[in-house]
Amino acid sequence: MLSYRSSLLIALLVVNVLDAAASAAEPETADQLISKGVELRKKGDHAGALREFQAAHEKEPSGRTLAQMGIAEATLQRWVNAENHLSQALESSTPWVEKNRATLEQTLQTVRTHTAEISIYGTTGAVVTLEDKVVGRIPLPTISRVNEGDVTVKVESPGHKPFVQTLPAKGGSRLIVTATLEPLAPDPPPAAPVAPLVTTSGPARGDISPMTRTGRRWTGIGLLTVGVVAATWGIVWIAVDGNSSWSNSDRVWDTRTPGWFILGGGIAASVGGGYLLYSSRHGETQVLASPAGVMGRF
């Protein structure tokens, strides 16, 4: 069985443990977070100090938290953020800011020597991106500020080629950028579908169908017959010209001129008929024109 003294020691131990657990469970105040940030800054951990100051500002925003963030950001060379936070801090009239106003104003002046103003103009409604951060659409409501060094400006608008330019920004200077956006070329119209090649059956060039061949043959025979008869008739008329022995009267025949006409017509009819008979057997005559001349194929 435990003695009275042992029981008292155990009770005190339990109370200490519970008190420590309660203290650990209590959330840190903004002042405590600021104190931690100050200690980290003294140790050279400026990024860690900034995190503590940001946590303090989320818990209890004040001119003091803004000033502490601005000082840490200036040390990390995040000049634009430092300028914004220090400017906001100096708008406050809290006792801590009033006590340190001269130092804060001097720090702000130093920070501004590492930032530059940049004005961007161009196509209305185009989206402006500075250092991978969208800052708004043209016309921009305010003049943008950037850290000193190379600055990349990107301006985009639908239907236009994007404008991208990298330029050096000197601390304390002002840059003016005019983004001229070139329209994109219109897409080519879709290609019209190609109609399939349709071939038709029928007699090849130079061939004569059976019906046409038969018609030519009979027409050729008719012309040839008429031509032979006409040519014979013309020869007869030429032969009897000036001859009166064929008549019971004293009339003299004057048939030479008509005879020659009849003979010529008969010869032409015979040639045409012969051609039709020939073409009905061997195909139609083709005459091809070319720069080298005229070529006949039979």
CB 169 within 8 A of CB 119: no
- CATH number of the domain to which 95 belongs: 1.25.40.10
Does residue 84 sit in the same domain as residue 132? no
In this prediction, residue 135 has a pLDDT band, given cuts at 50, 70 and 90, of: very high
Structural element, H or E, at residue 133: strand 133-137
**Region of poorest pLDDT, from 13-27, 88-102, 173-187, 245-259:** 13-27
> CA–CA separation, 63 vs 84, rounded Å?
12
| Residue 68 counted as domain residue | yes
Does residue 121 sit in the same domain as residue 97? no
Residue 286's φ and ψ, nearest 5 degrees, are -115, 130
Does residue 129 sit in the same domain as residue 140? yes
- CATH number of the domain to which 147 belongs: 2.60.40.1120
Q: Tell me whether strands 115-122 and 144-147 are parallel, antiparallel or unpaired.
A: antiparallel
Residue type, 166: T
Segment 117-131 mean pLDDT: 93
Higher pLDDT, 166 or 286: 166
Q: Is the pLDDT of residue 18 over 50?
A: no
Q: Is 179 helix (H, G, I), strand (E, B) or coil?
A: strand
* pLDDT of the residue at 292: 42
| Residue 48 counted as domain residue | yes
Segment 255-283 mean pLDDT: 71
Does residue 119 sit in the same domain as residue 104? no
| Residue 201 counted as domain residue | no
| Residue 245 counted as domain residue | yes
Does residue 34 sit in the same domain as residue 88? yes
| DSSP per-residue letters across 36-93 | HHHHHHHTT-HHHHHHHHHHHHHHS--HHHHHHHHHHHHHTT-HHHHHHHHHHHHT--
> CA–CA separation, 176 vs 171, rounded Å?
14
| Residue 192 counted as domain residue | no
pLDDT of 38-87, one tens digit each?
A: 999 999 999 999 999 999 999 999 999 999 999 999 999 999 999 999 99
Does residue 103 sit in the same domain as residue 44? yes
pTM above 0.75, yes or no: no
Does residue 215 sit in the same domain as residue 292? yes
Does residue 98 sit in the same domain as residue 142? no
Q: Which pair of tokens denotes residue 44?
A: 């050279």
What is the pLDDT of the chain when averaged over all its residues? 78
Q: CB neighbours (10 Å) of residue 269?
A: 20
- Evaluated on CA atoms 238, 241, 246, 249, the torsion sign reads positive
- Evaluated on CA atoms 141, 143, 149, 150, the torsion sign reads positive
Q: Where among 112, 136, 170 does a domain terminate?
A: 112
| Residue 106 counted as domain residue | yes
| Residue 154 CB contacts under 8 Å (≥ 6 apart), including other chains | 128, 129, 130, 162, 163, 164
Higher pLDDT, 136 or 297: 136
Q: Is the pLDDT of residue 293 over 60?
A: no
> CA–CA separation, 156 vs 138, rounded Å?
10
Segment 102-115 mean pLDDT: 96
pLDDT of 190-225, one tens digit each?
A: 877 766 655 555 554 545 455 567 777 777 777 768
| Residue 244 counted as domain residue | yes
> CA–CA separation, 137 vs 210, rounded Å?
83
Q: Where among 87, 112, 137 does a domain terminate?
A: 112
| Residue 43 counted as domain residue | yes
Q: Where among 80, 95, 112 does a domain terminate?
A: 112
* pLDDT of the residue at 291: 39
Q: Is 236 helix (H, G, I), strand (E, B) or coil?
A: helix
Q: Is the pLDDT of residue 2 over 60?
A: no
Q: Is the pLDDT of residue 6 over 60?
A: no
Q: Which domain holds residue 63?
A: 28-112
Q: CB neighbours (10 Å) of residue 100?
A: 16
Number of domains in the chain: 3
Does residue 102 sit in the same domain as residue 50? yes
Residue 167: beta bridge partners? 151
Does residue 89 sit in the same domain as residue 152? no
